[in-house]
A and B are shown apart, each in its own frame.
Chain A
């Protein structure tokens, strides 16, 4: 019984993380019917932001006997969480603006400058202008300056090219194009991660004091696990408030019902889609930061690959586009993984998670909470 409850608690904690990532998948699917495969990599970036903030950017102190240092570190950790959410939200917006929006609305002049910077990245790397953050702030900033300079020049050079392309573009909003672009962005973030963050795994040391709590009959809850659970819950409640009780949330729901009709009602759909990506990115960033800082796992550029896939499965189990469904799906995935992982079949725990997906989809093709909508062909 003790083991059962203990595994259940692990499962819910793991599931709350999957749910955080799954929310981003499901919200984007809701408004755009797009599976944003780059979402798991945003989670990875969140973990790296946590790493750099804890190790280099913020004055974390070694926690020892000094209670002031411990309190100070907790405050700083909250700052890191907000920073990670902010930067990952911004990353989500950038991905949407420059990778997905041109597929819907066609290319504009701003895109020329974005691609200028995007092309400047490999050029700068090829000539070894970039340095890792760990090589020293001066050299790192110098590399960034070169990158910006080349980016601006290439961007202006691209302007006529982009204009030429945009005049000859016939838009055909195809889901497949967007999907392939999403895979491309995901690969770009992963392989770009090898270059920017370096290939060696990083660890975040103990930044926040940890404590084990014993509850009913020997079940142990660790303060870090509790923090992950509570923060995830708070973020989900905030999300619920935004979606149900704000104008933006209402607009989001309207778009997910019918984007064309929403446009005709005067909703600025592009802006709302941007907000959706920002929220999704921020949630993933929070998840990545919490895993990195509170559970001390090794962080690599492929850090988001498996959690991303599992969260995607969670979103599908719950019914894509359905927010409570994503949370439910995440918890199911987490609990299933914990129970299978604790049994003698631990080797097959990923296989069993996907088997659950297949069974649920056989019984309820639209997911647990999804509605079956006949699609006009």
Chain B
């Protein structure tokens, strides 16, 4: 018996050591606001985990913006220092790392997260410590409703879902089915608004089915959707499942176009889907290689020079969030979180590469959206919708 106990203790010991490997520590400590030698800015992103390409893209874009700002002399003669934490695509970890950024690294602003679920986890902490938080790409409306320190520099799901509803009508689809991820705030939010808007526009929702992040077999649900004979199926999910869903849809002979939103935007989408997504559409942020805008083309070149591959829309959003933050830091009366908050809140017509950014009373940005079409294994710009068109 004794031996066995020791064995168990040994296993536990191994486990402890294994779990201890993940820690990292920062050597630099910052003094109080009086003795700043640099401007500490926090960044929490999903660099690993289920949606790793999201966080990697926004982080890369943000880091590029900060690097360019520092090369141009920094802000108020101080360089900006970016503290980056990986939340492993998990809301609990996001909560922990944001607390660490604020209490240990003493950052004066936090930029972070693509996934709304993780932004929603971190926002109350930033609000509690009164540190401004800018989410570059979380589209769920609830994120900025967490408090007056939470900002967003992209459009919201309300807008994105309305765009998809208009697009579905413009394409002549009469009957659309919805397949949503029940454990994802983003997916549920879009599905709800799309259904309301599309019905308003005279379309019919034939029915809806649900899946959960991490599921591997979707054929039963897809087969039931197929039985409803829709003209198209809306799948407001993340690329990690959409590829598999698309393949299985084609396997069971569901050959209608699939519609998606910005959660589809990932280089891994095509890898997962093969050619199953040929002829499908998704709404995305105003960013494409096909848009001939000098600022956007310069960003393409700079990004490719630094990282060796082309940016996606999320990288551009990270870049815009970083530049907007730099702009607000320059305009802020002092480098305190409260003054910085006021500066961000008064941002007007900031020339981002993904569109002009004006922060409205609800701390959201209003920007145009594009529709991307998947042709073979390529994504091409198909259509642009401005906020004015949707409002009509």
Contact = CB atoms under 8 A, between A and B. Distances in A.
Interface of A: 2-3, 6-7, 10-11, 14, 102-103, 106-107, 115, 118-119, 121-123, 125-126, 165-166, 168-170, 172, 177, 180-181, 184, 187-188, 191-192, 195, 198-201, 203, 205-206, 210, 212, 214, 220, 222, 224-225, 291, 295-298, 300, 302-303, 306-307, 337-344, 346-347, 349
Nearest to A161: B6
B380 interface: no
B1 A119 contact: no
A177 B272 CA distance: 42
A14 B217 contact: yes
A10 B21 contact: no
Contact of A168 (B2, B21, B247): B2
A365 to B, nearest CB: 30
B251 A195 contact: no
B18 A295 contact: no
B88 interface: yes
Interface in B203-251: 207, 209-211, 214, 216-217, 219-221, 223-224, 227, 240-241, 243-244, 247-248, 251
B49 A199 contact: yes
Contact of B253 (A118, A210, A212): A212
Interface of B: 1-4, 6-8, 10-11, 14-15, 17-21, 48-50, 52, 88, 182, 207, 209-211, 214, 216-217, 219-221, 223-224, 227, 240-241, 243-244, 247-248, 251-253, 268, 271-272, 274
Contacts of A14: 217
Nearest to B6: A165
15 contacts: A3-B223, A11-B220, A119-B14, A122-B18, A126-B20, A165-B7, A168-B3, A170-B2, A200-B49, A295-B248, A296-B274, A342-B220, A343-B224, A346-B209, A346-B224
Contacts of B20: 126
Contacts of B220: 7, 10-11, 337-342, 346, 349
A169 B209 contact: no
Main secondary structure of the interface of B (DSSP, over half): helix
Nearest to A2: B227
A184 B11 contact: yes
Contacts of A195: 18, 21
A61 B54 CA distance: 30
B267 to A, nearest CB: 12
> Which has the most chain B C-beta neighbours within 10 Å: A126, A298, A307?
A298
B3 A165 contact: yes
Contacts, number: 148
A102 B184 CA distance: 45
A203 B240 CA distance: 9
Nearest to A292: B216
Given A168-B3, A199-B52, A206-B274, A341 B221 contact: yes
A341 B243 CA distance: 19
Nearest to B3: A169
Contacts of A125: 18, 21
> Which has the most chain B C-beta neighbours within 10 Å: A184, A195, A302?
A184
> Which has the most chain B C-beta neighbours within 10 Å: A200, A205, A340?
A200
Given A201-B52, A341-B220, 19 more contacts: A2-B227, A3-B223, A3-B224, A3-B227, A7-B220, A102-B7, A107-B3, A122-B14, A165-B2, A168-B2, A188-B11, A188-B14, A200-B52, A203-B268, A225-B251, A296-B244, A297-B216, A298-B50, A298-B241
Contacts of A303: 216
Contacts of B216: 291, 295, 297-298, 303, 307
Given A106-B3, A122-B21, A296-B247, A342 B217 contact: no
Nearest to A158: B10
A206 to B, nearest CB: 5
Contacts of A300: 50, 214
Given A169-B1, A203-B272, A212-B251, A298 B182 contact: no
A83 B19 CA distance: 31
Contact of A347 (B52, B182, B217): B182
Nearest to B52: A200
Contacts of A339: 220
A106 B210 CA distance: 50
Contacts of A106: 3
A14 B215 CA distance: 13
B194 to A, nearest CB: 19
Contacts of B227: 2-3
B92 to A, nearest CB: 15
A198 B49 CA distance: 9
A374 to B, nearest CB: 29
A376 B69 CA distance: 77
Contacts of B49: 199-200
Given A115-B10, A298-B272, A339-B220, A170 B1 contact: yes
B219 A122 contact: no
Nearest to A122: B17
A88 B91 CA distance: 33
Rank and list the top 7 A-B pairs by shortest CB-CB distance, nearest first.
A341-B220, A169-B3, A297-B216, A342-B224, A122-B17, A199-B48, A165-B3
